[in-house]
Structure 1
């Protein structure tokens, strides 16, 4: 009996280090606004790119989407959303940080965060606190709106995107330049062709979520959310963060030309 117990103890001692070294599943947290947020099925076809990112990643990667509509860096912190996210982050996680749309809302003082001061300071806090948890912060510039000057897509949040680009050099933080990539993407589709990426529906289209129709050049349709998620995945794959290895080389769910009617991956 003693011999059996000794053998069992030896086997457990050998197995314990192996079990301790088993890596936890990869997780990506998203801190952002309505352009990345999750939406209930009743809001379809409105979707945020964070809903679709899973379709470009290996099955074991978990997306924890904390994006919330109407939030800027200022309100995301003030309302405790950042602290709640940080509480759940563990070492090895990736945190995608995308703000700018609402920070630029001068007419909404509760949201407004001047680019060179409050916005920059808030991003710095998010970067350092993420690193303090042993996780990997990734800055994401705000996605472009369907905002044309002739045939050229405007950079409506250029000042905010530039702050992020500067932080890449001063803090050595990886960045996805979603503004630049999405401007090219929307521009390639053209003024009319890009409507399908945003919320443009007439009453005659009989969209249940928008019975009176809608003309929204900021928020995404299903195809828009899939397309922006593809841009994020493509850029993420090239970054020096562990989860980059989990980005799929081929992402057919994110390059669809026809909507599925849901956030499903095939």
Structure 2
């Protein structure tokens, strides 16, 4: 559902009132776009946030200079109980299911990066309601860089409801940090480096930034981009670590999530072979922190069991979602619910490592 009421927008010391039907105008530099095109390419960064919900929602476009911005958002309505999710850019959930009683208000902060001189937002939920948004640019916001594969990636809107955990991580992060998701589907440590994606991350790294590094699903494949756990995989992980440390950033290894594969005793089977052990060995030897998503995901999947755990993954009936006319039975990639839970584990890991100071909402 789209917004039913208008709200006040403050940006660059200008205050305007936006009604839900305010059309985007390049002259004004703000407004809503309806019927936005679907994106099929992770690298183009051209997805609209309103296309990460059904039915599609309008996407609010705000033209501002590139950089990191803090958003002060006041939720609520005088006319109904509200439940609001705010989505930015390529499906990043900034605030998730914010409930506010009729006549009440709730103000929350968040940080968002702006590229291509456009901030794109969408408002979804059973009854979304915004009273005001205040935008201010900040130069001291740290960045959490995500390096990984399709379980982490910002899925393009054509793949919805496929959801990488990197798309839900922003909803757990404070206004003192932004997420820069460089993960790409099908990548191993080898192909990520070979395609110069790590070089692109390095160009943006600053002191005290964080680099989360999760690979394994594609490293273990027997193809040209596969690696061996205790040789090439280990060497590549060391390259990521050295790159981060060189710039005063904090590398954190993240063990790959388990696939939903149960044995006859309803216990999760380790399909990652020695890659989990290899990553932990690198963390110990290099004296860097790691988040054990393999352990956390195994515990969750086994607690839910084979039947209920399907809801965390991409299991769809034919045409249940228009983008996926065929039946989908995917035990590797996440639904929105699954991505939410895995992102929560990552946030918990950050708290365990750094006490979450200035980074994770607590």
TM bracket (short chain): 0.7 to 0.9
The corresponding residue for 2:361 is 248
Q: How many Å apart are 1:23 and its aligned residue?
A: 7.5
Q: Does 1:202 align with 2:328?
A: no
Shift of 1:240: 3.2
What residue number does 2:188 align with?
A: 72
Aligned to 2:220: 104
CA contact (8 A) 2:209 2:249 kept: yes
In the alignment, the residues of structure 1 paired with residue 269 and residue 296 of structure 2 have an alpha-carbon distance, to the nearest angstrom, of: 12
Mapped partners of 1:137, 1:113: distance in 2: 21
If each structure's strand is expressed as a fraction of its own residues, which one has the higher value? 2
Query: Going by fraction, where is helix more abundant, 1 or 2?
Result: 1
Aligned-partner Cα distance in 2 for 1:148–1:197:
14
CA distance in 1, matches of 2:273, 2:169: 24
**In structure 2, what is the equivalent of residue 37 of structure 1?**
153
Q: Give the match for residue 157 of structure 1.
A: 272
1:87 Cα deviation from its structure 2 partner? 1.1
Aligned equivalents of 1:238, 1:245: Cα separation in 2? 13
How far the C-alpha of 1:161 sits from its partner, in A, is 1.0
Query: Please, which of 213, 234, 239 is the counterpart of residue 353 of structure 2?
Result: 239
Q: CA separation in 2, counterparts of 1:133 and 1:59?
A: 23
Partner residue of 1:263?
A: none
* Number of aligned residues: 224
How far off its partner does 1:128 sit?
1.0
2:259 and 2:210 map into 1 onto residues whose CA distance is 26
Name the TM-score, length of structure 1 as normaliser. Answer: 0.81
For residue 145 of structure 1, what is the aligned residue in structure 2?
A: 259
- The aligned counterpart of 1:14 is none
2 CA distance for matches of 1:69 and 1:168?
24
Output the CA distance in 2 between the equivalents of 1:168 and 1:77.
19
CA contact (8 A) 2:210 2:249 kept: yes
Report deviation, 1:154. Answer: 1.3
Quote the Cα distance in structure 2 between the aligned partners of 1:81 and 1:23: 24
Structure 2 CA distance, aligned partners of 1:32 and 1:54? Answer: 16
Q: Which runs of 5 or more structure 1 residues have no equivalent in the other structure?
A: 1-21, 250-266
What is residue 92 of structure 1 aligned with on the other side?
A: 208
Give the SS at the match of 2:353. Answer: coil
Please tell me the root mean square deviation across aligned C-alpha atoms, in Å.
1.5
Give the Å deviation of 1:43. 1.5
TM-score using structure 2 length: 0.60
The structural deviation recorded for 1:209 is: 1.9
Alpha-carbon distance, 1:244 to partner: 4.6
* Structure 1 stretches of 4+ moved >6 Å: none
* Cα deviations by residue, 1:32-69 (Å, 9 ceiling, x for unpaired): 00000001223211000000001111133200000000
